[in-house]
């Protein structure tokens, strides 16, 4: 300062920027009207300016303060004011010194955290802890409420660097608009308790809002005016959010309890303190108030009251839930109802308590009693039904045997008489007579075949099934051999997949293969190159099934629904022999195995018959 004072004393014209390199402080030489007459080199590190008016360099809010200090330039004075910088503005302490030439030297001392602390009174050193933690929101404000220090915690919470807020009124930066006037007034009113405390809303750089508990404490000065203020704040946002969420959760729980179809009751020290509306109505009351204050044991039948008390006490002592138990509860009208009770320990107004959830199981108990009664008679019912079924099956067996014998006997007689006529009187028959006798013999044989197939269909439905592994490939080859022996002159290509394994009744599954391969053999006989396939395939879900496919005459799918019915034929006996019972037999056998059977075809393009069995094995 010696060089500056010397320059101030001897100043008579421009020269600070040139011949006075020893002056390292930013110094401006101001004329009576505030124009810049000269400046030191150090001002370049503080600000950039092109205007000759010094007040263009100052923050507009500080013009009046600086002018008041200039009015006192007859003596040395000091003032704080912000100077515009390329990055915003910078708070400086200005020392104003009058010169013999009628001008003023304005020497700037930029204020930063360390420099400002030196200017604070001793009491303000207690606030230094605020600026050593990134988690603490702390500010130092001058007597007008302008920010002179901004802690790292304040920077983190607001998203604003300290350089952007230093020298700006606190209510113009981080305080929400609705709290600005209230905060500003605390710097204008006389200090009573030297401290102001309030919950406020803090603004962030991104436009967010945080709730803070703020305390502003006066430092130095007197009861009318403080020299500085220290502000510290605690972020309540998460706490307020948690409190709101807790309140909302409690409200949701209360509403859920109220609309619950179950009875929910809380007892503390053996007395009912809360009950939901559904529970009160379940027990026969209009509202829960009818039970509040009553002993919890009064809700239960006398023979289980002691057990209820013991369970509640044990749940509290162990601080673990009491498991479900059945109890009888008393309604207000004196009737009892069976319920299921579970309880958990909890705190009620600082005292141990239990909360019970009670479910009405009277309907279930009635069903259980009915089921028990039914079970007691089940064996008797099963034995009775079994006896009836055995008797029915025996009658059906007798009936079937009788029908078979009674129908076969006349047919054998007719066939025998036809044979006698042909053998003993054959020479007397000519032409048409012989034809008629042949027709009679053929129809008796056909009738006998129908009777045999009907008996087979009946046995398929009634006979006991055995479950064994079956290789359908071997069964198919055996059936094919029988067909070739019956027609040795016929040439037909037949293909089998190997190892077509399944589980079922071997005899019944052989009947299935006999019918399906027999039909394929029969209906492809007129083709120039007959072809039959017995293979396994799989559907879209990967389930395997068996297929018997031929290239024969096929059938019209519009009649497919009648395909597996007894005596349903799509071709006349003159075209293909048969009695229409084979496919009905196939369907009954597959259904008895728990499987399914289907077919698809086109006339003149052959047919494909498929069946799936639960015991099918992958090839």
The pLDDT of residue 365 is 84
Specify the fold of 465-612: Heat Shock Protein 90 (3.30.565)
Q: With bands split at pLDDT 50, 70 and 90, how would you rate the model's confidence at 234? A: confident
Residue 340 has pLDDT above 80, yes or no: yes
- Residue 513 confidence (pLDDT): 93
Residues 581-590, mean pLDDT to the nearest whole number: 84
Give the model's pLDDT for residue 393.
66
pTM value?
Answer: 0.36
Fold category of 242-360 in CATH: Beta-Lactamase (3.30.450)
Assign 403 a pLDDT band (cuts: 50, 70, 90): low
115-235 and 465-612 in the same fold: no
Higher pLDDT, 54 or 49: 54
Q: Give me the pLDDT at residue 446, please.
A: 66
Q: CA-CA distances (angstroms) from residue 314 to 323, 346, 348?
A: 11, 13, 17
Q: Which of 26-35, 297-306, 458-467 holds the top average pLDDT?
A: 297-306
Mean pLDDT for the stretch of residues 455-469: 72
CATH number (3.90.1150.10, 3.40.50.620, 3.30.420.40, 3.30.450.20) of 115-235 reads 3.30.450.20
Greater confidence (500 vs 413) lies with 500
Chain centre distance of CA 422: 88
Read off the pLDDT band of 501 (50, 70, 90). Answer: very high
Model confidence at 54, pLDDT cuts 50, 70, 90, reads: confident
Residue 271 has pLDDT above 70, yes or no: yes
| C-alpha to C-alpha distance for 215 and 200, rounded to whole angstroms | 10
618 Cβ partners below 8 Å, 6+ apart? Answer: 544
Residue 332: how many CB atoms within 10 A of its CB? 11
Compute the average pLDDT of residues 509-522.
90
Mean pLDDT confidence for 168-181: 89
pLDDT over threshold 60, residue 118: no
Whether 605 has a pLDDT exceeding 90, the answer reads no
Class of domain 2-110 as given by CATH: alpha beta
Answer with the residue of higher pLDDT: 123 or 48. 48
pLDDT of residue 133: 54
Going from N- to C-terminal start, the domains of the chain cover 2-110, 115-235, 242-360, 367-459, 465-612
pLDDT-based confidence at residue 616 (cuts at 50, 70, 90): low
Give the chain's mean pLDDT: 78
Question: With 80 as the cut, is the pLDDT of residue 53 above it?
Answer: yes
What is the pLDDT, as a whole number, of residue 517? 92
User: Average pLDDT in the 181-197 region?
Assistant: 73
Across the beta sheet with 531-538, the strand order is 493-496, 531-538, 544-550, 607-612, 596-601
Q: What is the C-alpha separation between 164 and 204, in angstroms, rounded?
A: 13
**The predicted structure's pLDDT at residue 545:** 92
Token match 């004072």: residue? 5
Q: Poorest-confidence range of 227-231, 355-359, 508-512? A: 227-231
Task: Tell me which residue of 348, 277, 337, 287 sits closest to 312, measured CA to CA.
Answer: 348
| Residue 516 confidence (pLDDT) | 92
pLDDT at 114 over 50: no
The residue with greater pLDDT, 421 or 260, is: 421
Q: Are 517 and 573 in contact (CB under 8 A)?
A: no
Residue 400 is inside which H or E element, if any?
A: helix 362-424
Who has greater pLDDT, 13 or 459?
459
Predicted pLDDT of residue 609: 93
Helix (H) or strand (E) holding 281: helix 277-282
Q: Give the model confidence (pLDDT) of 85-113 as tens digits.
A: 877 778 888 888 776 556 788 888 887 64
Segment of 257-266, 380-389, 470-479 carrying the highest mean pLDDT: 470-479
The answer to whether residue 502 scores a pLDDT higher than 60 is yes
On the question of pLDDT at 198 being above 80, the answer is no
Bigger pLDDT: 229 vs 391: 229
Strand order in the sheet with 195-203: 147-150, 137-142, 228-235, 209-219, 195-203
Distance CA 200, CA 408 (A): 110
The 10s digit of each residue's pLDDT in 241-269 is 666 666 666 566 555 545 555 788 888 99
> Does residue 142 register a pLDDT over 80?
yes
Q: Is residue 339 a contact partner of residue 325, using CB atoms and an 8 Å limit?
A: no
Spell out the residues 6+ positions from residue 201 whose beta carbon is closer than 8 angstroms to its own: 175, 176, 178, 179, 209, 210, 211, 212
């Amino acid at each position: 300062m010696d060089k500056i004072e010397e320059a101030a004393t001897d100043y008579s014209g421009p020269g600070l920027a040139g011949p006075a390199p020893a002056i390292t402080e930013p110094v401006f030489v101001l004329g009576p009207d505030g124009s810049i007459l000269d400046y030191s080199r150090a001002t370049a590190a503080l600000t950039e300016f092109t205007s000759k008016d010094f007040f263009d360099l100052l923050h507009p809010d500080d013009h009046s303060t600086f002018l008041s200090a200039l009015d006192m330039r007859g003596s040395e004075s000091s003032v704080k004011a912000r100077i515009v910088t390329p990055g915003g503005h910078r708070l400086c302490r200005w020392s104003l010194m009058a010169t013999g030439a009628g001008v003023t030297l304005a020497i700037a001392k930029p204020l930063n955290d360390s420099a400002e602390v030196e200017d604070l009174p001793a009491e303000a050193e207690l606030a230094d802890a605020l600026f050593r933690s990134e988690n603490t929101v702390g500010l130092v404000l001058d007597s007008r409420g302008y920010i002179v220090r901004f802690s790292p915690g304040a920077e983190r919470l607001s998203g604003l660097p300290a350089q952007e807020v230093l020298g700006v009124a606190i209510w113009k930066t981080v305080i929400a608009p609705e709290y600005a006037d209230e905060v500003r007034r605390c710097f204008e009113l006389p200090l009573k308790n030297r401290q102001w405390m309030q919950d406020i809303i803090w603004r962030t750089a991104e436009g967010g809002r945080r709730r803070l508990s703020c305390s502003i404490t006066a430092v130095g000065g007197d009861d009318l005016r403080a020299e500085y203020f220290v502000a510290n704040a605690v972020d309540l946002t998460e706490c307020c959010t948690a409190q709101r969420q807790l309140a909302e959760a409690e409200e949701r729980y209360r509403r859920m309890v109220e609309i619950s179809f179950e009875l929910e009751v809380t007892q503390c020290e053996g007395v009912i303190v809360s009950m939901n509306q559904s529970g009160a109505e379940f027990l026969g009351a209009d509202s829960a108030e009818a039970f509040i204050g009553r002993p919890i044991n009064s809700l239960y039948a006398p023979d289980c009251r002691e057990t209820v008390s013991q369970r509640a006490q044990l749940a509290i002592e162990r601080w673990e839930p009491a498991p479900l138990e059945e109890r009888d509860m008393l309604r207000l009208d004196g009737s009892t109802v069976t319920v299921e009770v579970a309880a958990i320990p909890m705190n009620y107004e600082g005292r141990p308590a239990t909360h019970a959830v009670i479910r009405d199981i009277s309907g279930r108990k009635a069903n259980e009693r009915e089921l028990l009664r039914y079970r007691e008679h089940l064996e008797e019912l099963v034995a009775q039904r079994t006896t009836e079924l055995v008797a029915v099956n025996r009658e059906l067996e007798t009936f079937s045997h009788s029908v078979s014998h009674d129908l076969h006997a006349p047919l054998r007689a007719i066939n025998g008489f036809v044979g006698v006529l042909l053998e003993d009187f054959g020479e007397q028959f000519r032409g048409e007579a012989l034809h008629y006798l042949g027709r009679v013999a053929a129809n008796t044989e056909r009738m006998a075949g129908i009777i045999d197939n009907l008996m087979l269909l009946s046995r398929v439905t009634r006979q006991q099934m055995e479950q064994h592994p079956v290789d359908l490939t071997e069964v198919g080859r055996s059936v094919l051999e029988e067909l070739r022996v019956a027609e040795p002159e016929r040439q037909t290509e037949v293909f089998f997949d190997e190892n077509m394994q399944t589980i079922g009744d071997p005899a019944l599954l052989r009947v299935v293969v006999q019918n399906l391969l027999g039909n394929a053999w029969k209906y492809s006989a007129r083709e120039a190159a007959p072809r039959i396939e017995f293979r396994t395939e799989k559907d879209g879900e990967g389930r395997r099934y068996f297929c018997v496919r031929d290239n024969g005459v096929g059938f019209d799918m519009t009649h497919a629904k009648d395909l597996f019915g007894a005596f349903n034929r799509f071709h006349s006996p003159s075209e293909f022999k048969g009695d229409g019972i084979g496919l009905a037999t196939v369907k009954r056998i597959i259904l008895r195995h728990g499987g399914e059977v289907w077919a698809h075809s086109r006339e003149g393009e052959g047919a494909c018959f498929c069946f799936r069995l639960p015991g099918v094995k992958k090839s």
